[in-house]
Amino acid sequence: MYQEIFEGLGLSPNEAKMYESLVERGESTISEIAVAAKIHRRNAYDAIERLIEKGLCFQIFSHTENRYNAVDPDKLLELFAEREQKLKEVLPDLKRKFSERFAPQEAYIYRGHEGQKNIFRDVIRVGQDSFFIGAKGGWYDPRIDASRKAFFKEANRKNIKFIQLFDFDLKQARPKFFSEFEGKLQYRFLPPGYSTTSAIHIFGDYVVTYTGLSIMKLPDDVVYFVIHSKNLAESYRTWFWYMWGQSKAEKKKGT
């Protein structure tokens, strides 16, 4: 049931099966564990030794046949913390190498919801204001709720502003959306009749073109064309401000 989670913590498939069997059965012989975990007895000996080394089970000596039992599952949190700490130790060097390998200009493609999560990370890493042409509220697709909330929390901490030209269709479909936006938002609307299934996102030296969008949804097959070019990003921002000046601001009630 939990094998994938255990493997994600660094256990081999056999180790994961045996640990789960020990948690469920309690004190057992190697033969009993092998049968319960559905693995060969010979492989069970190797796996149990590795579980002992990792501190996830212990051996009970007997004059007949040794028995084994699982350590409290809280030990798994220690394993997770150890792996997280190891990652933190190497992360600065990895980020340095990642930054150094960026070419002055490059282009690549992201796809699907994981692609949007990559965009979120890129915006946070760059830490500059975000501009959008043809925004449709796709970030509020419920399937990426957790990632979006974490993104806005960090964006607000970094004081990143979201300056957006929304499709007019969004105003009609979700009039309360703009008051519910979680980031520091400045917005206007493109004129009626100019809504599309695409959008352009500019931040730092990056220009991202979205295709296959709809109101408040990110389709599974959405494609993101990412261009890293300082000159191009500055050009898009210039065009953005022209369009901003031609677009209408939301009228406040009573004015």
With contact defined as beta carbons under 8 Å apart, do 214 and 187 qualify?
A: no
With contact defined as beta carbons under 8 Å apart, do 180 and 157 qualify?
A: no
> 92 — alpha (psi -120 to 50), left (phi > 0) or beta?
alpha
How many angstroms separate the Cα of 100 from the Cα of each of 89, 94, 215, 230? 19, 10, 37, 16
What's the pLDDT at 183?
94
DSSP notation for 151-202: HHHHHHHTT-EEEEEE-HHHHHH-TTHHHH--SEEEEEEPPTT---SEEEEE
Eight-state DSSP code of residue 102: -
Rg (CA), the chain: 26
Question: CA angle, 88 as apex, 87 and 93 as ends, to 5°?
Answer: 90
pLDDT in tens, 166-178: 999 998 888 888 8
Q: Is 210 exposed, middle or buried (0-12, 13-18, 19+ CB in 10 A)?
A: buried
pTM above 0.85, yes or no: no
CA–CA distance, 57 with 72 (Å, rounded to integer): 9
What's the pLDDT at 108?
92
Tokens linked to 21? 């069997």
- The CA-to-CA distance between both ends of the chain, in Å, stands at 60
CA–CA distance, 186 with 182 (Å, rounded to integer): 12
For the chain, 255 residues long, the average pLDDT of each consecutive 10-residue run is 78 85 83 84 84 86 79 83 87 80 79 94 96 95 94 96 94 87 94 92 96 90 93 96 88 45
Which structural domains are found in the chain, ordered by start?
A: 3-76 (1.10.10.10), 104-249 (3.30.870.10)
pLDDT in tens, 167-221: 999 988 888 888 889 999 999 999 999 999 999 999 999 999 998 888 999 998 8
CA–CA distance, 153 with 149 (Å, rounded to integer): 6
DSSP notation for 221-250: T-EEEEEEEHHHHHHHHHHHHHHHHHSEEP
